């Protein structure tokens, strides 16, 4: 009997892996799956159909406000810094200071200043709901719809390690692309300020020339990134959608009478838009006392991990509630080795984590510590480890169940 039961479980697991791979393949074959693109719209339509196939009767596609391409914002601010250093004097300082203040505002407050003049077409979002209309507990599963662009800025592993998104055991803030660009903009403001105050030494002149050339190079790299085609995104985002659907099927079958389950697949995550946070805000008046958010992103690599902190200009620790349950459950080794990593950059739950909401974000990395094929022009579905995708879904479902039971020891549910 045990042998038959074990064989049945293996066959069921293999069937789920095949279906997860099917979802990944159908999404990654779509071209232009960037924020606001045709591929993103088609991806939303396919995800909507899959949600209905799983048994979700309440499925609603819609639009969410996007932000300009990050590469375009980098090119704009770095280009202004290059111009400021070339001009010098009070005009140069004014331009450099404005550029630095504008980019810092965008990073800290997510409120574009100079970038508001750049194009930012609305992105897609698909929501599905099941369960009680007056829930005691709400469970939100999320994943990104859009794929990153494959620019030269992130072409090599060492650049991705410094600029993000990348994972490591511990990262000190500030780190990542935003931190390095702000340092460059601040340096431009300092040398132009010295020029405005009458400095005319050879050292200052050389500093202005060097910073102008460096900023111009960064601007060109940002422009290339903004204009680059979208990656196939098999591991970058399609794997997250597959994990979301796999986990949703399991949680839907276990949904209690006092619970509400939401699925949110949202676009424009790669541009830094807060589609998931806006969705949660729209539910602020709902009577649920407890909201748990699980986010799937960049899966299918060798090592499954949960994000302990997201690092940019500041270090944002994920709140301890789900993080502690995940840690205890990972220590049981029932789902294989699952570590904790710091993430350079921001995931879709960054804004929610900063508010103190209980969130769990799952990613995967390769032996080099980086997500597989991230920002690369070649990211085929065959490179995605479907077993990792299913394991992430099962682990997330187990963490939710541990939270339901309120167990002091997550080993009790294994």
- Residues 216-242 have a mean pLDDT of 95
Same domain, 325 and 340: yes
For strand 259-266 and strand 137-144, is the pairing parallel, antiparallel, or unpaired?
A: parallel
Same domain, 320 and 206: no
Same domain, 200 and 349: no
Mean pLDDT of the chain: 91
- Residues 287-307 have a mean pLDDT of 89
Same domain, 279 and 218: no
Q: Is the predicted pLDDT of residue 148 greater than 60, yes or no?
A: yes
CATH number for the domain spanning 382: value is: 3.40.630.10
- Residues 221-228 have a mean pLDDT of 95
Please give the pLDDT value at position 284: 63
Question: With contact defined as beta carbons under 8 Å apart, do 325 and 399 qualify?
Answer: yes
Which residues is 311 bridged to in the sheet?
315, 344
Q: Which helix (H) or strand (E) holds 290?
A: strand 290-296
**Residue found by looking up tokens 């939401």 in the block:** 262
How would DSSP label each residue in 65-83?
-----HHHHHHHHHHHHHH
Please give the Cα distance from 379 to 377 (Å, whole number).
6
For strand 338-344 and strand 315-317, is the pairing parallel, antiparallel, or unpaired?
A: unpaired
Same domain, 128 and 245: yes
Same domain, 63 and 77: no
How would DSSP label each residue in 182-222?
HHHHHHHHHHHHHHHTT---HHHHHHHHHHHHHHHHHHHHH
For strand 123-131 and strand 259-266, is the pairing parallel, antiparallel, or unpaired?
A: antiparallel
Residue 190, phi then psi, degrees to nearest 5: -70, -45
Please give the Cα distance from 126 to 62 (Å, whole number).
6
Question: With contact defined as beta carbons under 8 Å apart, do 288 and 277 qualify?
Answer: no
- Residues 115-124 have a mean pLDDT of 92
Same domain, 218 and 240: no
Please give the pLDDT value at position 237: 92
Question: With contact defined as beta carbons under 8 Å apart, do 243 and 115 qualify?
Answer: no
Please give the Cα distance from 10 to 16 (Å, whole number).
10
Question: For residue 181, what are the CA distances in angstroms to 79, 264, 359?
Answer: 11, 32, 29
- Percent of the residues in the chain that have a pLDDT greater than 90, as a whole number: 74
Please give the pLDDT value at position 407: 46
Same domain, 214 and 321: no
Domain, as residue range, for 95? 71-116+175-226
| Band of residue 28 on the pLDDT scale cut at 50, 70, 90 | very high
Same domain, 273 and 198: no
Which residues is 365 bridged to in the sheet?
303
- Single residue among 208, 226, 244 that ends a domain in this structure: 226
Please give the pLDDT value at position 406: 77
The SS3 call for residue 245 is helix
Same domain, 270 and 401: yes
- Single residue among 200, 226, 252 that ends a domain in this structure: 226
Please give the pLDDT value at position 410: 39
**How many domains does the chain contain in total?**
2
Question: For residue 195, what are the CA distances in angstroms to 95, 184, 205, 239?
Answer: 13, 17, 9, 51
Same domain, 61 and 87: no
Q: Is the predicted pLDDT of residue 82 greater than 90, yes or no?
A: yes
Q: Is the predicted pLDDT of residue 159 greater than 50, yes or no?
A: yes
182 closest CA partner among 104, 76, 270 = 104
| Band of residue 411 on the pLDDT scale cut at 50, 70, 90 | very low
- Residues 196-203 have a mean pLDDT of 87
Same domain, 38 and 139: yes
Here the tokens at position 160 are: 């991705």
- Single residue among 226, 261, 293 that ends a domain in this structure: 226
């Amino acid at each position: 009997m045990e042998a038959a039961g074990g064989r049945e479980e293996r066959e069921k697991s293999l069937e789920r892996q095949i279906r997860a791979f099917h979802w990944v393949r159908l999404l990654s074959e779509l071209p232009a799956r960037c924020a606001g693109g045709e591929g993103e719209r088609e991806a939303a339509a396919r995800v909507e159909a899959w949600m209905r196939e799983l048994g979700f009767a309440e499925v609603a596609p819609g639009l969410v406000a996007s932000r300009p391409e990050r590469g375009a914002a980098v090119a704009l601010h770095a280009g202004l810094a290059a111009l400021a250093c070339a001009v010098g004097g009070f005009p140069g300082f004014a331009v450099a200071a404005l550029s630095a203040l504008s980019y810092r505002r965008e990073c800290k407050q997510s409120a574009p200043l100079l970038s508001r003049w750049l194009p930012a077409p609305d992105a897609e979002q698909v929501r599905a709901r099941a369960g009680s209309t007056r829930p005691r507990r709400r469970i939100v599963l999320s994943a990104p719809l859009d794929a990153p662009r494959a620019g030269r800025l992130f072409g090599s592993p060492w650049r991705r390690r410094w600029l993000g998104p990348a994972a490591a055991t511990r990262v000190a803030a500030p780190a990542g692309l935003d931190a390095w660009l702000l340092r460059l903009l601040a340096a431009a403001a300092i040398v132009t300020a010295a020029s405005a105050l009458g400095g005319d030494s050879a050292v200052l002149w050389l500093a202005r020339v060097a910073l102008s050339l460096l900023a111009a190079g960064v601007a060109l790299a940002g422009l290339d990134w903004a204009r680059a085609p979208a990656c196939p995104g098999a591991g970058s985002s399609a794997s997250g959608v597959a994990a979301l659907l796999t986990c949703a099927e399991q949680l839907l079958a276990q949904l209690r009478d006092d619970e509400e389950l939401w699925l949110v697949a949202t676009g424009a995550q790669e541009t830094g838009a807060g589609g998931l946070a806006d969705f949660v805000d729209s539910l602020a008046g709902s009577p649920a006392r407890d909201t748990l958010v699980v986010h799937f992103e960049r899966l299918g690599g060798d090592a499954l991990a949960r994000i302990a902190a997201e690092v940019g200009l500041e270090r944002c620790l994920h709140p301890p509630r789900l993080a502690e349950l995940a840690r205890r459950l990972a220590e049981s080794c029932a789902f294989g080795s699952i570590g904790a990593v710091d993430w350079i950059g921001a995931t879709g739950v960054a804004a929610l984590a900063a508010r103190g909401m209980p969130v769990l974000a799952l990613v995967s990395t390769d032996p080099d510590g980086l997500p597989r094929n991230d920002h690369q022009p070649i990211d085929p579905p065959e490179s995605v480890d479907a077993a990792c995708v299913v394991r992430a879904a099962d682990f997330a479902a187990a963490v939710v169940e541990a939270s339901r039971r309120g167990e002091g020891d997550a080993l009790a549910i294994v």
